[in-house]
Amino acid sequence: MSTAYVFPGQGAQYPGMGKDLYENHTTAKALFDKADEVLGFSLSKIMFEGTAEELKETKVTQPAIFTLSVIMAKLLGDDFKPDMVAGHSLGEFSALTAAGALRFEDALLLVSKRALAMQAACEATPSTMAAILGLSDEVVEDICASVEGVVVAANYNCPGQLVISGEISAIEAACEKAKEAGAKRALVLPVGGAFHSPLMEPAREELAAAIEQTEFQKPACPVVQNSIAKAVVDPVEIKKNLIDQLTAPVKWTQSVQEMIEAGITDFVECGPGKTLQGLVKKVDRSMNVSGVSFE
């Protein structure tokens, strides 16, 4: 039996998340308090008492999901023995931290900078994302290529579920074409901008400078990175792929397939929600999937 721990990205947040861990575990309390100190605002208060709307702000969402995911990995203690780790988009920072490639404080600062830079890039160009269900990846890629304006495949989530990203007019045109091609659904998502597209270039440049100045260690196990869907242990390569991630697609389907080919049989989702467990099952029904729980 080989185990991969996988870490969720934006969208997994919910009001009250992490409150029980804060109240019942000194390790969790210490890390939540450290996060508040590093960020200069009370992230924990928004997580525990804030509304869904407050929690949805990118500058809050990304540090919140990252902090809780890392805390959950830390609370596993000696039981946290991954053969591989991976994270979906933002979750890659959680995976790298849990595997020892990044210090918690350093990673949190990067996540915060990433969130603010993405927010600024979103405000610079009216843009969005859409989920296309029921078409092959190749058909969706061809549709994106045929539409005028910026629109690209952004999240390869599982077979038959691909998220596209780009300018609003181009996304709308691509959704129409997807429906004509027989898509079950082509749904514009309630997001602030075109993540994992060329429109994130200003954010990528800003984050690149911060990543270059941050110290990375060799992780305790291979990390399967989004932009290449390959297992990496070299800190220099990890940095490069992490920088590329903002404008490159999240190759989640391919990452899961890569882990299965490497002999992974069990996937454990470490963080809020169950999204990744569902996606792994859609890639390969035979996999064992579970989540981390402290109840």
Query: Which residues does the annotation mark as catalytic?
Result: 89, 196
Q: What are phi and psi of 32, to 5 degrees?
A: -60, -45
Structure tokens at 199: 């429109």
Hey, what are 128's tokens?
């969005």
Task: Please give the C-alpha separations between residue 45 and each of 19, 51, 91, in angstroms, as whole numbers.
Answer: 9, 11, 22
Query: Which token pair is 257?
Result: 């397939």
Largest separation between any pair of C-alpha atoms in the chain: 55
31: burial class by Cβ within 10 Å (0-12, 13-18, 19+)?
A: buried
Task: Name the DSSP class of 77.
Answer: G
Q: Is 139 left (phi over 0), alpha (psi -120 to 50) or beta?
A: alpha
**Cα distance between residue 131 and residue 169, in whole Å:** 15
